[in-house]
Amino acid sequence: MKKIFLTAVMILCTSCSVPENYGQAEETVTSYVQEMEQLYIDSDTEYIPLNYINQTGMWFPYMHFEEYMYGKTEDEFRTAVHEKFVEAQQEEVNTVYLHIHPCGDAYYRSDIFPSGTYLDGDYDPFEIMTEEAHSLGLSVHAWLNPLRCQTVEQMQNLPESFIVRQWTENPDCHFAEIVNDRWYLNPAYDETVQLICDAVDEIINNYNVDGIHIDDYFYPTTDPEFDRTAFENSGSDSLEQWRTENCTRFVKAIYDTVKKHDRNILFGISPQGNINANYNTQYADVRLWGSESGYCDYIIPQIYFGFQNETCPFAPVLAEWETLVSDGNVMLIIGLGAYKLGQKDEWAGVVGEQEWIENPDIIKQQIELVNSSSAVGYALYY
């Protein structure tokens, strides 16, 4: 265990670049190392989470698993993952968000959830990804979509022992509902929140994770029919407020579940970049989560907008998030839409629709602006 600890501290000390305005940079690093030393003395665990004071992240979404997981042998998968992590390091990435629970399924060994669609080999992809990432000094955050489940067709083909399938086949049970031919958990119920926490428990119990990460899949619809029965039984007068409280309830439950295992495992949330859209379409109370302790350790708003976006120009939106994330215990990290490079942005308005084509340095410029802000890092989505 001591070797693992010393390696982690060495990486923290030598690989973290702290922005000038982060405040007392040297003292911050020294304080963190001292805290880690005390944790090592007091800890009974064999693994101490590896996280960085300045997080430079990259998402690895399940949609890309078909390319380097489906139909691949264990060795082929390991080689491909290693190469992708090396490529990420070349972009100064120190943290990877690995999409292992995207649709009520598991890209890891699970006793609760069925295997993901692209996992057709007899090996544990998350174990391999974790080993390869840690061998390169990368922090590993398990990325979950708490509410999204299988399509209607996929659900019908799953084992009858799967708890969510049992819920979907009971006409009197409203724990899961269909939206656009896909099942989603209804967060109004204790049973669904517990299932989410069970997923977190299972992952932390079986893998050396450094963080748990969720993105912007909160309520899948604004349609009042989605959860009419639960709302009518709630006694609440406001559907919007009630749904917002439901989201906060499962976010808080995830946070508490993580910290029950180890206070040094981080819990992060990556909501939409448009602050108002979080409330109007998904009932995500980002202002609360960013201004009070006990809901998350970091927030990564997906500010996937160009500087010339007519609705949400990058610089003003960044400034809004700087104001919003006001709790000193919550880190602000900025999500950047690198996938837009070279693409027409049809939602940016007439002025901004060609920006990602005409300005190939846009991500570089956004990183420079982030580094001069109060944010402590950025994350890339390709």
DSSP string for 24-58:
SHHHHHHHHHHHHHHHHHH---S------SSEEEE
Among the ranges given (30-44, 148-162, 315-329), the one the predictor scored with the smallest mean pLDDT: 30-44
Among the ranges given (32-41, 292-301, 319-328, 333-342), the one the predictor scored with the smallest mean pLDDT: 32-41
- Provide the pLDDT confidence category of residue 13 given band limits of 50, 70 and 90: very low
User: Which pLDDT does position 60 carry in this prediction?
Assistant: 98
Round the CA-based radius of gyration of the chain to a whole number and report it. 21
Mean pLDDT of 222-245: 98
- Among residues 228, 210, 288, the alpha carbon closest in space to that of 48 is found at 210
Rounded Cα gap, residues 184 and 217, in angstroms: 10
Helix (H) or strand (E) holding 8: helix 2-15
- Provide the pLDDT confidence category of residue 18 given band limits of 50, 70 and 90: very low
Between residues 331 and 31, the one the model is more confident about: 331
Mean pLDDT of 274-301: 98
| DSSP strands (E only) in 136-239 | 139-144, 148-151, 176-179, 182-185, 211-214
The proportion of the chain whose per-residue pLDDT surpasses 70, expressed as a percent, equals 88
- Provide the pLDDT confidence category of residue 153 given band limits of 50, 70 and 90: very high
Mean pLDDT of 63-92: 98
CATH code for the part of the protein at 56-300? 3.20.20.80
Would you state the structure tokens that stand for residue 236, as one six-digit string?
């609440």
Rounded Cα gap, residues 35 and 356, in angstroms: 43
Amino acid at 135: S
Mean pLDDT of 260-283: 98
Rounded Cα gap, residues 288 and 35, in angstroms: 28
Write down how long the chain is.
382
Mean pLDDT of 312-333: 98
User: Which pLDDT does position 31 carry in this prediction?
Assistant: 36
User: Which pLDDT does position 295 carry in this prediction?
Assistant: 98
- Among residues 151, 189, 186, 211, the alpha carbon closest in space to that of 283 is found at 186
User: Which pLDDT does position 40 carry in this prediction?
Assistant: 41
- Rounded to two decimals, the pTM is 0.89
- Burial string for 351-380 (b: 16+ CB within 10 Å, else e) reads ebbebbeeeeebbeebbebbbebbbbbbbb
- Provide the pLDDT confidence category of residue 46 given band limits of 50, 70 and 90: confident
